């Protein structure tokens, strides 16, 4: 079975009602990254950081996977599909995708501040100051903040290097190391980019760009690949 590796970003969840980060309506237009998404921000004002992620988590219970998430599940009938997502939502899993690797963490999970391996799934949406791990330390969102290591990048790069087809959906390719994954793909394999504002990444030889929303572009590409 041919292996398809799919790299997704915030754009695939936009039509489910989850805001992207950059662009005029992006979350980083309203919040400063250094106030919310760094370890220093957490040390300075954990309440503010918790509130930001609590609001995002709360919204997750109100949204559903869209046609793009669902189309990727369909692909599994004919291909060995691996999704590498920068998203912290769980919409790929809820759509039914079987192999999903989260590069930047998961909103529904929280972890210890003294032991990175102590990870729990939160009941409900709210993580509060005073919620402690088994070792008695404050729990934090299970999110990779700016400046932190990306522990899943190695398995992600290994997957990328094994791809027979590579698909990139709804990411500005602004954040590294995620944005560099495309360069681990074997030279010459078909690469598809689906994003209404796609910019052409350099040095990709067999690239097809679909400048359209994921909700229509992904089902169209899936149909094409299935035939
Ligand atoms: P961005 O907000 O940087 O980019 C979103 C991309 O989605 C843009 O290229 C949009 O053109 C595109 N887009 C918007 N609507 C779309 C639609 N309906 N269909 C398809 N594409 C659409 O989000 P990411 O690239 O995911 O990290 O951001 C990468 C990382 O930066 C995130 O994981 C997050 C953020 O800071 C952390 O918080 C650690």
Distance from the Cα of residue 150 to its chain's centroid:
12
174 touches ligand 1 (CB under 6 Å): yes
Structure token pair of residue 95: 């759509």
Spacing, Cα 171 to ligand 1 middle (Å): 4
pLDDT score for 23: 83
100 touches ligand 1 (CB under 6 Å): no
What pLDDT tens digit does each residue of the chain (227 aa) get?
999 999 999 999 999 999 999 988 899 989 999 999 999 999 999 999 999 999 999 999 999 999 999 999 999 999 999 999 999 999 999 999 999 999 999 999 999 999 999 999 999 999 999 999 999 999 999 999 999 999 999 999 999 999 999 999 999 999 999 999 999 999 999 999 999 999 877 788 899 999 999 999 999 999 999 99
pTM tops 0.95, yes or no: yes
127 touches ligand 1 (CB under 6 Å): no
31 touches ligand 1 (CB under 6 Å): no
Which ligand 1 atom is the nearest neighbour of the CA of 173? 25
As annotated, the active-site residues are 104
Domains of the chain plus CATH, in order, are: 1-18+65-104+150-227 (3.40.50.1220), 19-62+110-143 (3.30.1600.10)
Sheet holding 207-210, edge to edge: 100-102, 80-85, 3-8, 165-169, 191-194, 207-210
d(CA 14, CA 26): 10
**How many C-beta atoms surround the C-beta of residue 224 within 10 A?**
10
């Amino acid at each position: 079975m041919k292996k398809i590796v799919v790299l997704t970003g915030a754009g695939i969840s936009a039509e489910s009602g989850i805001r992207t980060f950059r662009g005029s309506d992006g979350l980083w237009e309203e919040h400063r990254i250094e106030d919310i998404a760094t370890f220093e921000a957490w040390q300075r004002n954990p309440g503010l950081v918790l509130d930001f992620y609590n609001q995002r988590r709360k919204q997750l219970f109100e949204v559903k996977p869209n046609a793009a998430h669902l189309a990727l599940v369909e692909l599994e009938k004919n291909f060995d599909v691996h999704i590498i997502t920068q998203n912290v939502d769980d919409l790929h899993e809820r759509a039914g995708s079987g192999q999903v690797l989260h590069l930047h963490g998961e909103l529904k999970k929280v972890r210890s501040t003294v032991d990175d391996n102590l990870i729990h799934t939160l009941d409900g949406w709210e993580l509060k100051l005073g919620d402690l791990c088994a070792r008695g330390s404050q729990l934090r969102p299970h999110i990779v903040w700016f400046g932190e290591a990306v522990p899943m990048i190695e398995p992600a790069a290994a997957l990328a290097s094994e791809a027979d087809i590579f698909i990139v959906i709804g990411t500005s390719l602004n954040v590294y190391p995620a944005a560099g994954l495309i360069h681990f793909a074997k030279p010459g394999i078909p690469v598809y980019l689906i994003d209404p504002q796609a910019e052409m990444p350099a040095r990709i030889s067999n690239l097809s760009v679909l400048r359209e929303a994921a909700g229509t572009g992904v089902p169209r590409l899936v149909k094409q690949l299935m035939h």
